[in-house]
Structure 1
């Protein structure tokens, strides 16, 4: 398929490149990255089949808007100066296409990943207030099969989501999805905070105090009605971590 490379420089796409670079730098700032691994992506609108993704080989802390790469759903680079790591394509292309997600953030952030190696495999959304924002929004992919070197890994993750915004991937990490980078990053940040609290509570050796389903559902609904907080947090990060 032939693509118009001028799309990469269209004002709305340039703005998305800035937001994607900001989310990557914020994740590095908050300790959510891992070396030069893991990937953030955002789909372009209009049924284009194109999405922006971070480049292979750069640390998230150094990524700027000009480093972002535009790729198609086959993983072929459409625009940008860098290559893309191949496991990124197998995970992100499938989740964008099959699960219909606009933004897909994949990390091995430590506390969330710690929970993926426990018998439950995921966050208990009836514990802390931060955890309750994810009540009924979390899925679990129990089948770890090694590195994602073919389409089946991404297809399985996309199927496991079943409409959820967050997937815990057994023995691997997490995928957080959203309709905007501000919303997705806000969820990513608070997911790790919720997981950190659970890991700390488990380390104390006692029992865990759950709230009822009704309280967790009501709290999740309260969070869902106040998503402007996501935008305000993202704008605060824009001031704190100015891009070059």
Structure 2
């Protein structure tokens, strides 16, 4: 019965949607493997490529390592479901549907609370230019003040205002937000931000003076990073991660 259900899901969606479903479920499993999870909270979402007013996201009761391509749920930007079950609500609706509706240049959103990015979100300086991983975000990251759990629709507009046209955001006392063009690109961008946050927390924990990178070098490196073709960004690392996932967590693509 399980296989019949999975086959039905694959058969009733387009090849383009199925490909994004597989990528998104892989991203969920990979983040779980790398320790990026907060019980059933946090979401990764992706726009349906041939239905741009619809998006895919995990069920609210699932942990990251449970997600498969077929169990991803699909909603429109008003929160109406395309499967049996309730409308979209909470963070998936307020944050993900809101950003995807407002930003046609964004196709994928990762919202996470890790120990490192939450710690950086609570530091007055925000993300500091202490490592090469931080360079991609130099003067390219927004800051959004904490206004309570993002469960209510009135919290959407302040987030959209603060995000502006940025693709990255530190959510103060909360976590991080990474937006992108594709799942592989967003996965790698999120990895860089997470590494930058971990490096910052470790450096400051040493209790010794730290050295920041000169502004002109930061800008040069940020432009270098921006010059990477979004269609290719993450392809090498993504392919390696998929090989890893096939070894340690098969079934994500069912």
Residue 142 (structure 2) pairs with residue 139 (structure 1): yes
Aligned to 2:180: 178
CA contact (8 A) 2:32 2:64 kept: yes
Distance 1:207 1:151, change over 3 A: same
**1:36 corresponds to which of 31, 40, 43:** 40
Distance in 1 (alpha carbons) for counterparts of 2:64 and 2:92 = 15
**Displacement after TM superposition at 1:96 (Å):** 1.0
**Displacement after TM superposition at 1:45 (Å):** 3.7
Distance 1:118 1:7, change over 3 A: farther
Gaps of 5+ in 1: none
Aligned to 2:93: 89
Distance 1:234 1:79, change over 3 A: farther
Aligned to 1:75: 79
Aligned to 1:152: 154
**Displacement after TM superposition at 1:22 (Å):** 0.4
Residue 114 (structure 2) pairs with residue 109 (structure 1): yes
Aligned to 1:232: 236
Number of positions where the alignment pairs a residue of Structure 1 with one of Structure 2 = 237
Q: TM-score when scaled to structure 2? A: 0.86
Distance in 1 (alpha carbons) for counterparts of 2:46 and 2:217 = 33
Gaps of 5+ in 2: 1-8
CA contact (8 A) 1:21 1:63 kept: yes
CA contact (8 A) 1:123 1:131 kept: yes
- SS in structure 2 opposite 1:175? strand
Distance 1:74 1:88, change over 3 A: same
**Displacement after TM superposition at 1:153 (Å):** 2.0
Distance in 2 (alpha carbons) for counterparts of 1:81 and 1:47 = 20
CA contact (8 A) 2:80 2:87 kept: no
Distance in 1 (alpha carbons) for counterparts of 2:212 and 2:15 = 47
Distance in 2 (alpha carbons) for counterparts of 1:168 and 1:71 = 26
**Displacement after TM superposition at 1:58 (Å):** 1.2
Residue 22 (structure 2) pairs with residue 18 (structure 1): yes
- SS in structure 2 opposite 1:22? helix
Aligned to 2:207: 205
CA contact (8 A) 1:161 1:167 kept: yes
- SS in structure 2 opposite 1:174? strand
Aligned to 2:221: 219
Distance 1:82 1:182, change over 3 A: farther
Aligned to 1:130: 133
CA contact (8 A) 1:66 1:80 kept: no
Residue 194 (structure 2) pairs with residue 192 (structure 1): yes
Distance 1:6 1:17, change over 3 A: closer
Q: Deviations over 1:49-90 (max 9, x none)?
A: 111111111111121101101101011211377975532211
Q: TM-score when scaled to structure 1? A: 0.90
